[in-house]
Structures are given as C-alpha cells and as structure tokens.
C-alpha cells in the first residue's frame, strides 16, 4: 500500500477540520456557561425562568443562601432532578445580581453536613435499591434550605424533598417570596356553620376515649388546610352564625353549604362582599341526604339526592348569577368512572373495579384561558362524593342586570369553565325534578354503533359551570347589608361609595348600595369536599392498587388538575396572580381523545406499536439499497477506467 501526496493532504485536511470542530464546541460551551439563556421549545416555556420568578430574584433584599442537600449515587431520574435544580438556581443567581448564592452538599460525606441537614429538619427518606442478588433500602437526602440574612435578622425556608415531576421553579420562588415577607402569611377563611364540609367535624359528639375540645379540632383542621396549600397562607375557620366575618380574613371559601341561611347570616356574608373582600362560592342546587329512619330495622343509612335550598340563591342572583336547577350530562365527553364488582375464584374472594363511562360526570374542556385561574389548563373533571349515586353537574347563567353591567364595562365577567358542545341538560320544572339523573334513565339516550350521536330532545350545550365577576356589585339586602343603626358612618360611606357631609340627613336604610367586589361562583358544591376529605372511593390508596393502569393514571391526573385549580383559587383570593402563573407551568397535559373517533384511535394505537419500528426498518432497507447502488456505481466507474 503506497502513500500518495494527495492522501497525506487529505489526512491533514481531515485533522484540521476535526480540530476546528472541537475548538468550536469548546467555545460554544464556554459562551453557554457564561450566559443564562437556553433554548426552550416547550409550549409553556417550562424550562425558562418566568417573569414573576425573575422579578422575585431581582427584588431580593439582603442575602439569600441556598443549600441543596443532595445525596450522591442516585438513580438517573434523581440525578436529572439535581441537574434541573442546578440550572434553575444558576438563573436565579444571575438575575439576583449576586444576592442569591447556592451550593450542593452531600450529607453522606461527613457527620457535620448530615447534622446540618437534620438541623434544618430536612427528612432523610427511604430509597429502595435492587441488584441481581439483593434488595436494600438506603436513606437519602434530596431537600434544600434557603436562609435569608439582613442586618442581623434571619429567616429560613425549606423544600423538604426535591423529586422528579415537581415544579422546581414554583418551590424556589415560593420559598424566596416567603423569606422576603415581613408581615406574615395572608389569612384566608373557610366558612362553617352553613352545613358545609367542616360542620361534620366541628359538631361531632364528644368522645370520652379521645377527648378533644372543639377549639382543638378547629386548630387541627386549620393546620391541615395550611399543609394542603403548601403553608403559603394561614387559614381560619369562620363560624357564620357567631358574628361578623373579621376583616383580617382577606379572602373566603364557601364550600358546599346545605343549611338554611337566616337573614342575619346573609347580611354578614353580604357585608363582607360589600367591603371588597373576594369570595369563592362552591354551591349546588342539590345535596346528598342521609336517611336514618330504617336503622332501627337493622338497615344501614341510605343516601339519596335531595333539593338544596339555602337562601344563597337570592344572594347570588342579586350579584348577577343564577344557580340553575338542572342536571348536565355529556355522552361524548364522559369521565372515566368505575364500579366495584366482587366474585370468587375457587376459595378466593376477588374484588375488581370495572371501568365504564358515566355521562353524569362530564369532563370540562371549554376553559377560558383569559382567566388567571386556569392558565395552560386543558381539562378538568370534578370528583363526586359518592360514585354509586353521584349528583349531576349543574350550570350557571347571568341575570339581565349583570349582562347590562358587562356591556357598560361596569362588571368584568369571565365564564371560566363551560361544558362541552356535546353536553345536554335536564331542567327542573313543576312536573320534573332532577336531583340526580340515573343511568337507567339515560339508557335510551346512550349512543350505539348504529347511532353514534345521541338522539335527545334537550337543550344542548355548552353551559357555564364556573364564572368570575369583578367590578361594581350591588348589595343583596336593603341598606347595603345592614340597617342605619348597625353600620357606623365610616362603614356606611365605604359601602355606598358616597362621601356624605356631616350636616346632611342620614341615607335611608332601604336604598341599595354597590361596591367593587370579586366573586368566583362554581355550580358544584361537593368536589372540594371530595378532594380534601378523600371521600371519593377511587382516591383511596387501596382502591388505586386494584384499578386498571389506564384508569389509575386518569384518576391521578384528574386529582392533580383539581388540586392545581384549588391552589390557583387560593392565590386568586389572596390576589397573588404571580404564583398562579408559575404553578401552572409544566403541568401534565391531557390528550383530548374525545374528539377522536374509534377508527382513528385504533389507527394511532397500531401506529404507536408497529408503525414507528416499521418506519425505521424501511429507512434501514432504503439506506442499504442506496449504499449498494453507490458501491456498484463506483465499481463500474473504476472498471471502465482500467
């Protein structure tokens, strides 16, 4: 084999080319290491620091030190979490102009680092590790502590666990904002004394075996609520029967009321609204009623749907919202539900959950992203309290006065959630009541293979399920929620918006007043209770283990979306929209399969299983023939030249 000058020149050219490529790669890495910009092709820019987080970093006063306690030799998914946290903290540090610094610490390296992590109350959690010969458990740390110092003052916030799938940006920004807050967390309230979700806990009979005073139970419930909402807010349970709603309550939840509101209770709630405090009301025209009269014969209590008239309907209507007495069903977008079936296989008793489509539990896909409550959210489905006889979803509508106020730009109204275009509703009238629509009743309307579209003579959707009202809201009661002798002059001026002279006569108590208010109304009074108390049987851990994989994933995704929506509502009540935007980034997106026909769905399944491998095989065969043809051409060229 002889070496020609042309071959040497070609070899030197290749070496020079490879060297230039390596130098370019090194230069690109050096430049990338000194910049905070990254290429992010995701729809919601989930891997790029958002504007609220950048602002939080820029507004740091003093110094914030972040200590990330991360064990070494972790599984790949946890190592990826370490890299993601490192990238985010680098961006925070760059935007903070040196006011935020960070370091990674391995608590397993020495006893001092482990003691430091324990001093921050960061938990060590059990990580299972398996090999060919054994299964072992190792305790690891994946948490962070943020310490703020300024002028001799210091505060600490911790992120107990950093795990795959978490919204890391939200956790860091939440902790930084909490460190910068001097006045303490905002106080939000949950109403009780209205027959809602908390009355069952606070009015339970005294148990001699476990004596707890009502105030102790109340404090425990408030603490649990704080944990549900990531301890961002301080929660207080407010008894509507006891007195006025305190002004320290900056926003109020009214969840599933079932008791009748007397005039004084309505006045207190109305006065709270007239002071401009935001209120989120989850109300339903129907409720579940437990019948006890058969217990003496040895039968268990029977739960049946019943009418739910609390007096809040008149209050809401004066604000511009009608709570319709109807039942919404949706055949095309039916939430996956399940029924329990028991049987025996030999001597073994078998329990399984059979999935089916329940039109009474519609998926909500018409979501108005103009609302800060639902940024980037594609789908919701409210869990029922009882899957055996669930209450159907009801709807909302606007009064003529509210429509006029919206047209006059006096009231901003956003229909946050609406049912799909394929939904229908049964409307209650003098002859028919629809506290709950049974599946037997819907059988004659169910779509079939011969007739995939349901033939049903009912009003077709979409229908409004949740809406917000912001702007000029009229009081529901004469005198703006109180009589002249109940409100002092200062409150009277505030509620009416009119500055009175001292020598003028007192304004008559019967005149209606208006105020700048903020209301969220959801025509479903039980989904929050189901979510927080875990009464939905599909949410229990034992049931989750028995569900088919697809159904289990769907239920878990629905729960995650509902928790996200509930947290966004708390931020809306606290008037903190920045956290809503950050929390909603990176959430799990739902695939809308309802609009895909059975044939198309089958095609996608087959394509995912066999289509992609087949494409690679075709490309491989095509490449083989291209190379074979090229070699034949080269051989022919050299043969002809001899």
- What CA–CA distance (Å, rounded) separates 480 from 274? 7
Q: What is the pLDDT of residue 474?
A: 84
Indicate if the alpha-carbon torsion angle 468, 474, 477, 480 is positive or negative.
Answer: positive
Q: What is the mean pLDDT of each run of 10 residues along the chain (642 residues)?
A: 57 69 69 53 60 87 91 88 89 90 90 89 82 75 90 84 84 86 85 90 64 79 89 90 92 94 92 92 89 65 83 91 92 74 64 77 88 84 84 92 92 93 85 77 73 74 93 76 42 43 39 72 92 78 74 80 90 82 59 48 60 70 75 70 52
The token duo for 418 is 């609406």
Residue-wise pLDDT for 339-385, tens only, equals: 777 666 556 666 667 777 788 888 898 999 888 888 778 888 898 88
Per-domain residue ranges for the chain? 53-180, 187-332+360-498+509-583, 602-642
Q: Answer for the pair 515, 475: CB distance below 8 angstroms, yes or no.
A: yes
**Could you tell me how far CA 272 lies from the centroid of its own chain?**
27
The token duo for 642 is 């001899």
Q: What is the pLDDT of residue 151?
A: 77
Axis crossing angle, helix 51-58 with helix 168-180, rounded to the nearest 10: 30
Longest CA pairwise span in the chain (Å)? 120
Q: What is the pLDDT of residue 565?
A: 92
Pairing of β 326-330 and β 396-398: unpaired
- What CA–CA distance (Å, rounded) separates 79 from 294? 59
- What CA–CA distance (Å, rounded) separates 32 from 252? 47
As a whole number of Å, the end-to-end CA separation of the chain is 19
Q: What is the pLDDT of residue 175?
A: 87
The token duo for 553 is 């994933």
SS (H, E, C) 216-284: HHHHHHHHHHHHHCCCCCEEEEEECCCCCCCCCCCEEEEECCCCCCCHHHHHHHHHHHHCCCCEEEECC
Give CATH for domain 53-180.
3.40.30.10
Q: What is the pLDDT of residue 391?
A: 87
Contacts of 351 by beta carbon, 8 Å cutoff, 6+ apart: 340, 341, 342, 546
The neighbour count for residue 631, using CB atoms within 10 Å, is 10
Q: Answer for the pair 406, 413: CB distance below 8 angstroms, yes or no.
A: yes
């Amino acid at each position: 084999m002889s070496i020609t000058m042309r071959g040497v020149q070609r070899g030197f050219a290749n070496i020079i080319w490879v060297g230039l490529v390596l130098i370019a790669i090194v230069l690109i890495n050096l430049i990338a290491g000194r910049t905070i910009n990254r290429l992010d092709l995701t729809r919601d820019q989930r891997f790029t620091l958002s504007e609220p987080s950048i602002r939080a970093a820029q507004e740091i006063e003093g110094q914030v030190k972040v200590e990330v306690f991360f064990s070494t030799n972790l599984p790949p998914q946890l190592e990826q979490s370490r890299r993601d946290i490192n990238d985010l903290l680098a961006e925070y540090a760059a935007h903070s102009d040196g006011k935020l610094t960070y370091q990674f610490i391995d608590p397993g390296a020495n006893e001092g680092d482990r003691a430091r992590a324990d001093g921050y109350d960061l938990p060590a959690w059990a990580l299972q590790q398996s090999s060919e010969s054994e299964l072992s458990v190792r305790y690891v740390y994946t948490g962070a502590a943020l310490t703020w110092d300024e002028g001799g003052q210091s505060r600490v916030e911790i992120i107990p666990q950093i795990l795959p799938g978490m919204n890391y940006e939200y956790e860091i920004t939440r902790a930084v904002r909490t460190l910068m807050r001097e006045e303490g967390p905002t106080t939000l309230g949950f109403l009780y004394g209205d027959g809602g979700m908390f009355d069952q806990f606070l009015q339970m009979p005294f148990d001699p075996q476990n004596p707890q005073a009502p105030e102790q139970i109340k404090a425990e419930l408030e603490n649990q609520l704080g944990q549900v909402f990531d301890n961002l807010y301080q929660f207080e349970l407010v008894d509507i029967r006891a007195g006025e709603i305190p002004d320290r309550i900056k926003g109020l939840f009214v969840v599933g009321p079932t008791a009748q509101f007397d005039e004084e209770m309505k006045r207190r709630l109305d006065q709270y609204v007239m002071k401009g405090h935001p209120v989120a009301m989850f109300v339903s025209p129907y409720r579940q009623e437990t019948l006890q009269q058969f217990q003496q014969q040895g039968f268990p209590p029977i739960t049946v749907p019943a009418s739910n008239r609390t007096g809040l309907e008149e209050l809401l209507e004066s604000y511009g919202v009608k709570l319709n007495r109807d039942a919404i069903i949706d055949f095309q977008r039916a939430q996956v539900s399940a029924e329990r079936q028991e049987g025996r296989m030999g001597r073994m008793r078998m329990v399984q959950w059979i999935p089916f489509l329940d039109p009474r539990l519609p998926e909500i896909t018409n979501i108005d992203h103009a609302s800060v409550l639902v940024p980037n959210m594609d789908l919701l489905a409210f869990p029922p309290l009882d899957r055996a006889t669930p209450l159907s979803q009801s709807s909302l509508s606007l009064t003529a006065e509210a429509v006029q106020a919206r047209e006059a730009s006096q009231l901003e109204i956003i229909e946050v959630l609406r049912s799909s275009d394929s939904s229908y509703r049964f409307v209650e009238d003098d002859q028919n009541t629809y506290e709950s629509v049974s599946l037997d009743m819907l059988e004659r309307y169910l779509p079939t293979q011969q007739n995939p579209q349901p033939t049903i003579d009912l009003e077709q959707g979409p229908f409004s399920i949740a809406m917000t009202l912001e702007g000029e809201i009229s009081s529901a009661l004469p005198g703006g929620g109180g009589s002249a002798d109940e409100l002092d002059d200062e409150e009277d001026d505030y509620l009416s918006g009119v500055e009175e002279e001292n020598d003028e006569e007192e304004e008559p108590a019967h005149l209606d007043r208006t105020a700048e208010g903020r209301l969220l109304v959801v025509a479903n009074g039980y989904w929050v209770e189901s979510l927080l108390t875990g009464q939905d049987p599909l949410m229990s851990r034992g049931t989750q283990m028995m569900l088919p994989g697809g159904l289990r994933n769907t239920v878990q995704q629905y729960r995650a979306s509902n928790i996200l929506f509930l947290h966004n509502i708390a931020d809306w009540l606290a008037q903190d929209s920045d956290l809503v935007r950050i929390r909603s980034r990176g959430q799990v997106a739902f695939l809308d399969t309802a609009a895909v026909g059975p044939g198309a769905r089958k095609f996608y399944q087959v394509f995912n299983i066999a289509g992609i491998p087949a494409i690679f095989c075709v490309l491989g065969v095509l490449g083989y023939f291209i190379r074979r043809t090229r070699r034949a051409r080269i051989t022919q060229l050299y043969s002809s030249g001899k």
